[in-house]
A and B are shown apart, each in its own frame.
Chain A
Amino acid sequence: MANNVNVGARNTLSTRTVMPPILRGVFWAFLGFLVFNLLTDAFDPFRGHPLVTEVSATFGWAGATIGWLLGVGGWEGVVLPLFGSSRPYVEPVGWRKYFGLSTEHKVIGIQYLVSSTITFFIAGGIAMAIRYELMQPSLHFFTYTGQYLAAVGIHGTLMMFSVATVALVGGLGNYFVPLMIGAKGSVFPRLSAIGHWLVPVGVLTITFSPLLGYWDTGWRGYESLASQDPGGMIYYYLGVFALTLSSLFVSINLTATIVFHRARGLTWARLPLFVWGILTVSVLNILWLPEIDMTFVMALLDKIVPFHFFDAKGSVEGYLSMFWLFGHPEVYIVVVPAFALWNEILPVMAQKNLFARSWAVIGLIFVMMLSGLVWAHHMFTNMRNSEMFPFSFFTEMISIPTGFSFLAAIGTIWGSRLRLTTPTLLVLMSLFNFLIGGLTGVFLADPPVNLQVHDTFFVVAHFHYTIIGGMVFTWIAAMYFWLPKLSGRMYSEFWGKLLAVIIFVGFNGTFTLLFLLGMQGMNRWVPVYPPYLQPLNYTASLFAFVLGLGFLGHAIHILWAWRNGPVAEKNPWHSRTLEWLTDSPPPPENFPGEVEVHHGFYVYAQDEPAGVLVPDTES
């Protein structure tokens, strides 16, 4: 294959670039914006209007994105090879490889993890501001309601599209899936490489969108609010477009990698649970992300042409359906890898066979399939009773395959000598949290309850229990679980457990009170509320600050352990999955030989290793 690289064999890329890639990316992005913006103004002059119009800002954004992607390494790493250039491109080495286009899946994974962690704290900081505002029943921190609503929207959008969707799939998925299947690389490394550098584009676009005007639609871009909103709405669409494109690229790469790069003997029946989780989520991403992207293209055209697909002259409800058609699978895109991680970590910590492994996998697959049949439960207030029934039915049905993950987890720890490590503790907390989120989801699937608590803090508490309680707790658990592999170092159990308890108390304190607030009539999307709701809001905010500090503590602790923690054993958890067959951190080509799998990974009843390394004989 003269024109294509071998898998895992990174190109040799030239470092003849004058500027560091990120600096060059920023410079080229600036140039790209300027050129595209001015060209748009030249072709489509808007007399009497400023230099930057909504149309020119859209094309300018496209130019900036192209400039940024080329600048961070896309020019040498993608475009020149596409045109058959013989100029070699040497990838940066050492710490520099994390600040440019890299085709090594582990570097890309860490890039995604860092980007999503930074974004988590940006969006989390906004959440703290929201909670601070809600400590008083009237505006005292934000000056205008528009600011508050834009803050809520940016918080939700960043958390959903650049943290929850990205951290487990783009971060841990890119890093660990090839290792867990015994592969030496991924099938489309450049695709994931470019995918990562779309994340900063999306995050910055959304974060600075209020520069074009406050938008008040929330992370859902709801119509008909969107059609009345100023230009900031445009950057919401474009930012989400960049982020979803990033996730789509990763999903295509990981799916092809799982199908074609599994080690010899790694049959579908032996595939690790986390890999199954990433595979099912990738299918969801491939099916649903293009749907929301096209919906956002139409909504964007509504703003800049203008068309009237979704405004009051078009179909507002059409937008809602098209959004939630993606929006509810999105929830499962977020939590399915977490379900898989529960059952990845618990058998290791219990040193016990994974209970009902087949059912755990079937559960993931059926959640994936049913997730596309429940969207309209978000719109019960706009529907006739007869229309609600099928969506209510399927929403309740989806709790059954979800329960399979609980079944496998509980069955595994039942009667075991479970090691209560920090990852174990966090997984158990996640199970508890998601149980609350899931049970309240069943309530919300019932129209009588749904219609009562619609658009109240009850719903806010429910989905935070699923997303933070389910995904974020598991993400932190997985970071501790794999820290010895990522860094070769071990964390402090004392600090890990203490911080786990702190976030558990902070989280449940905050969001249990939000359930109560919702039932007492606290609406979403309002910075001003009746004074009788202040005591609960005040207390919830205090717990939220504890939660925020707890998350910060975890980040500092993990960072400290990564650099200064004691050197870890080669396989400190005595796990049987393949990533532990190699050094920590793994070498560039992952394994110093070919991996062969002889047994399932979750069978602790036998002593034989699940996989073995067959050293390369070619060289």
Chain B
Amino acid sequence: MSTTGTYSRERQLRAHRFGFGLFILSQSVAFLTAYAAQYLFHGFFVSARLNQWLGALESLLIVVGAFYVKRGVRSIQSGQVSRMIAAFRVAAFLGLVNLALLGYQWGTRVVHPGTRFGESYFLLSGLTGFYTLVAVFILIAISVRAGRVRYAPNDVWDAEASWIFYLFQTVTVLITYVLLYIV
């Protein structure tokens, strides 16, 4: 197959970005549905029993993780594979800590799942938790992969895709935090 024109690397890369963008768009619809349901069921009510600081810490871990993922992508673009692997693994670790804190919050049952707010709390926090789990899996997979394959400096699609997914994940975590803890 020709590697020029329609099938050039640049065009392939653009096709991958576009397709991944469609995937992110589709997942945004899923989150929008969940947010709309949350508003439908209890408007902007926030439970006083929630620990805002713990929630903020969970979100902060994801935001800090996003900086590490971005740093990892920059590293691989400049050919520094080991720095990229380290950055991705730090972000994955932060994601795991986030999940552990979420597990702790769920375990304390400060919000009862049988209440109107509790349903939304467990739905939205569970949803972001699931996407965090997927993001952690991707970061670990790509960091393992990075040690095994050679990257061209201008073509680091795996790492870039991880960053796009993690960025999406970060945005949903922040929106969810605002909806569950602030307004």
Contact = CB atoms under 8 A, between A and B. Distances in A.
Given A1-B12, A290-B30, A309-B41, A6 B7 contact: yes
Interface in B1-47: 1-3, 5-7, 9, 11-16, 18-19, 22-23, 25-27, 29-31, 33-34, 37, 40-41
Contact of B11 (A260, A287, A301, A309): A260
Interface in A129-174: none
Contact of B34 (A185, A252, A294, A314): A294
Interface in A171-214: 183-185, 187-188
B6 A261 contact: yes
Contact of A287 (B5, B18, B29): B29
A4 B20 CA distance: 14
B145 interface: yes
A259 B29 contact: no
A594 interface: yes
Interface in A452-480: none
Contacts of B151: 2-3
Given A305-B113, A594-B2, A3 B157 contact: yes
Nearest to B161: A4
Given A259-B18, A318-B40, A82 B1 contact: no
Task: Report whether over half of chain A's contact residues are helix, strand or loop; otherwise say mixed.
Answer: loop
Q: Could you say which interface size class chain B belongs to?
A: 35 or more
B37 A318 contact: yes
Interface string B140-183: 01101111111110010110000000000000000000000000
Nearest to B137: A82
B158 A298 contact: no
Interface in A18-71: none
A438 B147 CA distance: 59
B122 interface: yes
Given A252-B22, A290-B33, A291-B30, A1 B145 contact: no
A589 B18 contact: no
A307 B115 CA distance: 8
Given A291-B30, A301-B123, A255 B22 contact: yes
Contacts of A386: none
Given A252-B19, A256-B18, A83 B141 contact: yes
A286 interface: yes
Contact of B6 (A262, A307, A322, A616): A262
A86 B147 CA distance: 12
Nearest to B32: A291
A185 B11 CA distance: 14
Interface in B102-159: 113-114, 116, 119, 122-123, 141-142, 144-152, 155, 157-158
A277 to B, nearest CB: 18
Contacts of A84: 144-149
A169 to B, nearest CB: 15
B111 to A, nearest CB: 13
B18 A183 contact: no
Contacts of A96: none
Nearest to A3: B149
A336 B22 CA distance: 20
A574 interface: no
A563 interface: no
A295 interface: yes
Contacts of B41: 309, 314-315, 318
Contacts of A616: 2
Contact of B158 (A3, A253, A287): A3
A82 B148 contact: no
B25 A286 contact: yes
B119 to A, nearest CB: 4
Contacts of B114: 308
A289 interface: yes
A618 interface: yes
Given A1-B152, A3-B149, A594-B2, A187 B15 contact: yes
Contacts of B7: 6-8, 184, 261
B2 A290 contact: no
A291 B165 CA distance: 19
Interface in A255-308: 255-257, 259-264, 286-291, 293-295, 298, 301, 305, 307-308
A385 interface: no
A83 B138 CA distance: 9
B12 A7 contact: yes
Contacts of A262: 6
B19 A187 contact: yes
A307 B157 contact: no
A9 interface: yes
A62 to B, nearest CB: 11
A263 B6 contact: yes
A594 B12 CA distance: 16
Nearest to A618: B2
Contact of B29 (A263, A290, A318): A290
A6 B3 contact: yes
Contact of A82 (B33, B37, B145): B145
Contact of B27 (A183, A290, A298, A301): A290
B141 to A, nearest CB: 5
A558 interface: no
Contacts of B150: 2-3
A68 to B, nearest CB: 19
A248 interface: yes
Nearest to A261: B6
Interface string A245-257: 0001000110111
A298 B2 contact: no
Contacts of A264: 5-6
Contacts of B119: 301, 307-309
30 contacts: A1-B12, A2-B151, A6-B3, A7-B12, A82-B145, A83-B141, A83-B145, A84-B147, A85-B148, A187-B15, A188-B16, A252-B19, A252-B22, A252-B26, A253-B19, A256-B16, A256-B22, A257-B15, A261-B7, A264-B5, A286-B26, A286-B29, A288-B29, A291-B33, A294-B37, A298-B34, A301-B122, A307-B113, A307-B119, A318-B40
Given A289-B26, A294-B31, 17 more contacts: A3-B151, A6-B1, A6-B7, A84-B144, A187-B15, A187-B16, A256-B15, A259-B18, A260-B14, A262-B6, A263-B6, A287-B26, A291-B29, A301-B122, A309-B119, A314-B41, A318-B41
Interface of A: 1-4, 6-9, 82-86, 183-185, 187-188, 248, 252-253, 255-257, 259-264, 286-291, 293-295, 298, 301, 305, 307-309, 314-315, 318, 322, 589, 594, 616, 618
> What 6 A-B pairs are tightest by C-beta distance, nearest first?
A84-B148, A84-B145, A256-B19, A260-B15, A294-B33, A290-B30
